[in-house]
């Protein structure tokens, strides 16, 4: 996942200062353990400022409105109490090239700040800290004690201290190409790595796009670069610094006054940005060959950019870009984690249930011998005179076939006692059959239900949209409700809205609705389905409920029915087969048995059509 680097942070601040300062803070909401949202209101608009200290996705941008669910976090409650009603009047970096923002809050625009919200975008060390005007910490997203860190503690009531500055040379516009080149090539190595090691404020994503913009390979050794290569790369370097100065409002990009001219650097003439090239000609570093000196947010093949170097698709603004990128990346991570968790849980449950079913089947098989033991007891009672003391086995003629039947005996018992033992065994096995059969049926129903859930997990194995994550969250909630998963200690903050089903259109324009999980299946079949619709499902195979939506008086053609059957087969456990039997009927003939689990239904007056899952996959 691409992290917010210094350049991206400056670009985000540039947009936020332009559109959202000053703004009134109406409320604060905490989405999760790493993210808060400040509701801001300006004279022109309202929006939610997302601030995250996530170890991989720390960021600040205008984002989506939070869900309408209770906020139970202490940190947001403290921020809401202190910042509610105050105006956001300023947003500045605390020092050049530091990824720490100071959000300043006052009672009204033009007045001195009363509260400072420091947003530290520093990877796994990211944090959000609220201080008073006298620099004392009021609250923090993540408090750090002296035992956790000997370098910097963050505790309520302590003075706020900025994070320790990173070592490394600061990029400067007045640095000559010769000095810059000497610094980067001092130790031979891959170009991308040497740039990052030589200067602060650079990220792998920024350097990679900068190097590629100069038509160079990031892994190319600095020893292999020609004079022309260095010049092209230096122009991109200068363009980056000019953008930070012009669009990002960077103070200090030129360095201190005493550093201007860099008298110790060969070839520097002392004038801002003027150096001599290898031919002795004076060049002006302040003016790159391109006029493209503004932040230009957009998508790249590997993430996003604000410099337009390797952009494949421009973005409307950086706020939407950052919100979409990190929301998508975090959703994808959560999707993969949740999918793995549910798959593992279902596999373990099905394995245990299969073992239980096997045990019950064995006991039922044994109980089928009950009548045989009763018949042996009857024979023994009828032929008592054939018994002799000490016999271990006796052969007696069958009542109907007259064929000999061998009966094992207990030599310590007489004939009547042996017969009584056989009668008791007969009664015991009969009771076992009556007790075990419903248990086996219940286990088989559980297996059928969990196989249905497993089929939905197999269908939803790739993340492509937020609905995919919501589908898994609904499956998790369902398994918790059915007591297959333990409820988490902290309540899951899921939406009450049901995710949208898959939607397609048939050759004649009819809508097809396909359930993504059991919750949707029930919703489609028993809430949405109308009298004129047609309901489809694979025959005795776990899968989705499919609804062909029809208007009164419309009659679907065979192509419409076939496509619905194809999709029913495709979204089922039989998706790898060439043909799958699919039943279809009117929704009024589909019933949910009393006490049935989610997604379970029975039907009547059905017809059968063969679905072709491979055809649906091509549609």
DSSP string, 523-543: HIIIII--TT-EEEEETTS-B
Question: Which of 80, 114, 140 is at the close of a domain?
Answer: 140
pLDDT of residue 115: 97
Q: Are residues 14 and 119 part of one domain?
A: yes
Mean pLDDT score across all residues of the chain: 89
In this structure, is the dihedral angle defined by the CA atoms of residues 561, 564, 566 and 572, taken in order, positive or negative? negative
* pTM confidence score: 0.82
Q: Are residues 429 and 507 in the same domain?
A: no
pLDDT, position 265: 43
Q: Report residue 496's pLDDT band, with 50, 70 and 90 as the boundaries.
A: low
The answer to whether 570 and 522 have CB atoms below 8 angstroms apart is no
Written as six digits, the tokens of 397 are 């003629």
Structural domain count, the chain: 4
Q: Is 103 helix (H, G, I), strand (E, B) or coil?
A: strand
* CA 269 from centroid of its chain's CA atoms: 55
pLDDT band at 427 (very low <50, low <70, confident <90, very high): confident
Which runs of consecutive H residues, i.e. helices, occur in 33-147?
74-83
Tell me, yes or no, whether 366 and 488 share the same domain. Answer: yes
Residue 534 within a domain? yes
For residue 447, what are the contacts with CB-CB under 8 A and spacing of at least 6?
A: 350, 353, 354, 357
Among the three residues 452, 467, 492, which one is the final residue of a domain in this structure?
492
At 617 the pLDDT is 85
**Is there a single domain that holds both residue 487 and residue 509?**
no
| CA separation for the pair 323, 327 (Å, rounded) | 6
288 and 209, same structural domain? Answer: yes
DSSP β-bridge partners for residue 8: none
Q: How far apart are CA 262 and CA 273, in angstroms?
A: 10
Query: Would residue 171 count as lying in a domain?
Result: no
Residue 150 domain-assigned?
A: no
Question: By the 8 A CB rule, do 501 and 513 touch?
Answer: yes
Please give the angle made by the CA atoms of 315, 319 and 322, to the nearest 5 degrees. Answer: 80
What's the pLDDT score for residue 250? 60
Mean pLDDT of 401-411: 92
- pLDDT at position 366, please? 79
HSE-up of residue 315 (Cα within 13 Å, Cβ side)? 22
**Are 405 and 425 in a shared domain?**
yes
Write the CATH number for 71. Answer: 2.30.310.10
Statement to judge: residues 424 and 377 lie in one domain: yes
Choose between 165 and 438: higher pLDDT: 438
Q: Are residues 105 and 208 in the same domain?
A: no
Pair 364, 482 in one domain: yes
Cα–Cα distance between 88 and 105 in angstroms, integer? 5
Task: Tell whether 258 and 194 lie within a shared domain.
Answer: yes
In angstroms, the CA 26 to CA 84 distance is 5
Q: Are both 483 and 562 inside the same structural domain?
A: no
Whether 213 and 266 share a structural domain: yes
Nearest Cα neighbor of 56 from 140, 126, 123 is 123
Domain termination residue (choose one: 472, 492, 512): 492
Question: What is the distance of C-alpha 60 from the center of its chain?
Answer: 20
On whether residue 464 sits in a domain, the answer given is yes
Q: Is residue 562 part of a domain?
A: yes
pLDDT digits (tens, 9 = 90+) for 504-549: 999 999 999 999 999 999 999 999 999 999 999 999 999 999 999 9
Asked if the structure places residue 27 within a domain, the reply is yes
Of residues 363 and 127, more confidently modeled: 127
Alpha carbon distance 566, 559 (integer Å):
10
- Looking up tokens 């650097």 gives 265
**Neighbour count for residue 497 (Cβ, 10 Å):** 10
Segments forming the whole domain that contains residue 512: 502-618
Burial class (CB in 10 A: 0-12, 13-18, 19+), 364: middle
Q: What are the tokens at 86?
A: 């105050």
- On whether residue 430 sits in a domain, the answer given is yes
Quick check: is 159 in a domain?
no
Which of 292-296, 454-458, 550-554 is least confident?
292-296
Burial code (b: 16+ CB inside 10 Å, e: under 16) for 538-571 equals: bbebbbbbbbbbbeeeeebeeebbbbbbbbbbbb
pLDDT band with cut points at 50, 70 and 90 for residue 68? confident
């Amino acid at each position: 996942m691409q992290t917010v680097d210094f350049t991206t942070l400056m670009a985000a601040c540039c947009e936020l200062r332009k559109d959202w300062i000053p703004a009134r803070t109406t409320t604060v909401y905490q989405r999760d353990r790493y993210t808060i949202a400040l509701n801001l209101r300006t004279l022109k608009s309202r929006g939610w400022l997302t601030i995250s200290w996530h170890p991989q996705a720390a960021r600040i941008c205008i984002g989506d409105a939070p869900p309408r669910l209770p906020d139970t976090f202490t940190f947001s409650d403290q921020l809401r109490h202190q910042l509610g009603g105050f105006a956001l009047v300023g947003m500045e970096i605390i020092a050049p090239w530091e990824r720490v923002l100071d959000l300043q809050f006052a009672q009204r625009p033009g007045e001195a700040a009363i509260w400072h919200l420091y947003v530290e975008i520093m990877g796994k060390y990211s944090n959000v800290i609220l201080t008073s005007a006298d620099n004392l910490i009021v609250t923090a997203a993540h408090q750090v004690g002296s035992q956790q860190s000997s370098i910097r503690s963050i505790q309520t009531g302590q003075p706020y201290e900025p994070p320790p500055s990173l070592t490394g040379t600061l990029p400067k516009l007045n640095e000559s190409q010769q000095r810059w080149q000497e610094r980067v090539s001092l130790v031979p190595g891959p170009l991308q790595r040497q740039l990052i090691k030589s200067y602060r404020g650079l990220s792998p994503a920024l350097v990679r796009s900068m190097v590629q913009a100069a038509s160079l390979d990031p892994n190319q050794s600095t020893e292999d670069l020609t004079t022309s290569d260095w010049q092209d790369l230096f122009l991109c370097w200068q363009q980056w610094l000019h953008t930070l100065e012009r669009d990002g409002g960077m103070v200090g990009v030129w360095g201190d006054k005493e550093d201007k001219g860099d008298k110790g650097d060969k070839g520097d003439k002392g004038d801002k940005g003027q150096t001599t090239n290898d031919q002795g000609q004076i060049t002006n570093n302040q003016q790159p060959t391109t006029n493209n000196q503004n932040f230009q947010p957009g998508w790249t093949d590997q993430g996003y950019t604000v410099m337009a170097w390797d952009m494949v698709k421009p973005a409307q603004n950086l706020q939407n870009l950052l919100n979409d990128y990190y929301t998508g990346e975090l959703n994808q991570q959560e999707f993969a984690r949740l999918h793995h968790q549910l798959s593992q849980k279902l596999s373990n449950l099905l394995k245990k249930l299969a073992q239980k079913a096997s045990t019950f089947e064995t006991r039922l098989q044994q109980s089928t011998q009950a009548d045989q033991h009763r018949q042996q007891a009857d024979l023994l009672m009828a032929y008592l005179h054939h018994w002799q003391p000490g016999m271990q086995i006796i052969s007696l003629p069958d009542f109907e076939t007259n064929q000999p039947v061998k009966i094992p005996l207990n030599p310590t018992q007489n004939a009547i006692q042996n017969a009584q033992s056989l009668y008791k065994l007969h009664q015991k096995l009969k009771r076992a059959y009556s007790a075990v059969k419903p248990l086996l049926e219940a286990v088989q129903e559980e297996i059928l239900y969990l196989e249905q859930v497993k089929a939905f997990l197999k269908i939803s194995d790739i993340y492509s949209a937020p609905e995919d994550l919501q589908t898994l969250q609904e499956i998790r909630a369902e398994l918790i409700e059915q007591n297959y998963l333990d409820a988490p200690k902290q309540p899951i903050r899921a939406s009450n809205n049901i995710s949208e089903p898959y939607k397609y259109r048939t050759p004649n324009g009819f809508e097809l609705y396909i359930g993504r999980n059991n919750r949707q299946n029930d919703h489609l079949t028993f809430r949405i389905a109308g009298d004129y619709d047609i309901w489809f499902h694979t025959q005795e195979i776990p899968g989705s409920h499919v609804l062909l939506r029809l208007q009164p008086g419309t009659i679907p053609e065979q192509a419409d029915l076939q496509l619905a059957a194809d999709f029913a087969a495709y979204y089922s456990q039989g998706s790898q087969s060439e043909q799958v039997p699919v039943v279809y009927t009117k929704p009024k003939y589909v019933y949910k048995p009393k006490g049935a689990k989610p997604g379970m239904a029975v039907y009547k007056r059905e017809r059968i059509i063969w679905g072709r899952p491979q055809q649906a996959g091509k549609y």
